[in-house]
Amino acid sequence: MSASSSKLSFIVCGGGMIGLSMALGLRQQGHQVQLVERGQQPQLSAEFSLRVSAIAHSSRALLQQLGVWQQLPSDRLGPYSGMSVWEHDSFARIDFNAAEVSRSDLGAIVENQLLEHYLWQAAQAAGVMIHSGVTSVAEQLSDDQVSITLSNQQQLSADFLIAADGANSHVRQRAQLPLTFWHYQQHAIVATVQTELAHHGIARQAFTPNGPIAWLPLADPQHISLVWSIDDPHSEELLALSEQQFVQRLQSFSNNSLGQLTLRSERQAFALKMHYCQRWLQQRLLAIGDAAHSIHPLAGQGANLGFADVSQLLAVFAQPQQQLQRRLREWERERKTAAMTMIAAMEGFKRGFAGANPVLKLLRGSGLQFASSCAPLKQQLMKIALGD
Ligand SMILES: Cc1cc2nc3c(=O)[nH]c(=O)nc-3n(C[C@H](O)[C@H](O)[C@H](O)COP(=O)(O)OP(=O)(O)OC[C@H]3O[C@@H](n4cnc5c(N)ncnc54)[C@H](O)[C@@H]3O)c2cc1C
């Protein structure tokens, strides 16, 4: 790729949190941006929506830089200042507090739909041309241009195509970017739950022999978002339980830290799969977000990895275009390393806490006690959670 005029044109395929952030950031740099999204602008609802993300400080910094974080209604943000992690039926436990790293919080729980709504609004206001209700059905890539055909037969061309169309990315599949993947053999069951006791802004996670359960504090002091990851044979059984039975089962893992629980939504299940793309850059195609990688939600880092893809790619396109190809390759290398490190860490946690073997339980308990009492190690774990 050669140095050319300072402004470029982009097509971003996929208007989730990651694609919208990318499109908005590029537009704010003065580039021409078109975004293709098969759905419509997500609407705000009075109820908490089921899909939420723990947004780390690094992602918040990007959203602030884009001018979107400031617009999010504070009565829908769930900042958390502490994290409690324990193993069910064991003495293994560790607590983190924002004060230990001189912060007022460790992150915030935000509904995906809310974030997408405001990102979409900001992208439109900034001049991103949004093609909604259509999909890309074919892409032609060359060394200096891309063109795509939409499902309404419209043709679009640009200097770059960015695939941000999620874990089942059709753009990635048609470009035959090689993929490494495995199924976690688990589903995550999500729901909104009302608690008798206030959650006090603590994100709680219990490791059980069949998978981790997270109670994520929402803006309302007595509402949490549940992410219950559970091995496949048990996930069907859990979904088949009546509301009352489900809540009783959940309660048995909660250490009674939140008092009586009441289900306030339907339950939705998501199959959990790990994948990462072995190539994120092919000619003028770039893959970001879940289109490039997807990981187990147990540490709430999937979207945060995607936001970091966006931040670092924006830094590349903010510079003059000399040696663009080399800098894009560096971006690809750095982001792949970050994604693979996170994938390995999630695998370690998942395998490390699986099963009820008493010897392993003892080791886990001792390990967590050591981490809890060893300030440098604990700070290192907190840094990971903060996205530093
Ligand atoms: C249960 C669960 C809990 C999670 N919790 C967390 C958490 O706490 N913290 C965290 O950081 N991450 C979390 N994650 C991960 C996070 O949800 C994802 O990493 C993130 O949503 C990915 O965003 P994305 O924009 O890349 O993809 P998506 O959100 O999947 O967006 C893709 C978009 O592309 C559109 N699209 C798809 N195909 C086409 C097409 N052909 N043409 C046009 N548009 C198309 C879709 O409509 C969609 O809008 C969790 C995941 C799960 C399953």
Span 97-149, pLDDT tens digits: 998 888 999 999 999 999 999 999 999 999 999 999 999 999 999 999 999 99
Residue 165 Cα: closest atom of ligand 1: 34
Q: Name the residue with higher pLDDT: 376 or 318.
A: 318
Q: CATH 3.50.50.60 region(s) of the chain?
A: 9-53+112-181+274-348
Minimum mean pLDDT range among 79-93, 216-230, 252-266, 270-284: 79-93
Residue 20 Cα: closest atom of ligand 1: 25
Q: Name the residue with higher pLDDT: 263 or 360.
A: 263
Q: Is the CB of 93 under 6 A from ligand 1?
A: no
Which pLDDT does position 344 carry in this prediction?
Answer: 85
Which pLDDT does position 312 carry in this prediction?
Answer: 98
DSSP code per residue over 267-313: -EEEEEEEEEES-SEETTEEE-GGGTEE--GGGS-HHHHHHHHHHHH
Among 230, 243, 328, CA closest to 287: 328
Q: Is the CB of 386 under 6 A from ligand 1?
A: no
Q: What is the CATH number of domain 9-53+112-181+274-348?
A: 3.50.50.60
* Average pLDDT of the residues of the chain: 91
The rounded Å distance from CA 290 to ligand 1 centre is 6
Minimum mean pLDDT range among 119-128, 280-289, 336-345: 336-345
Strands 93-97 and 82-87: antiparallel
| Sequence letter at residue 23 | A
Strands 146-150 and 136-141: antiparallel
Q: Is the CB of 82 under 6 A from ligand 1?
A: no
Confidence of residue 2 (pLDDT cuts 50, 70, 90): very low
Q: Is the CB of 17 under 6 A from ligand 1?
A: yes
Residue 190 Cα: closest atom of ligand 1: 1
Q: CATH 3.30.9.10 region(s) of the chain?
A: 71-111+184-271+352-386
Which pLDDT does position 3 carry in this prediction?
Answer: 41
Write out the CATH class of domain 71-111+184-271+352-386.
alpha beta
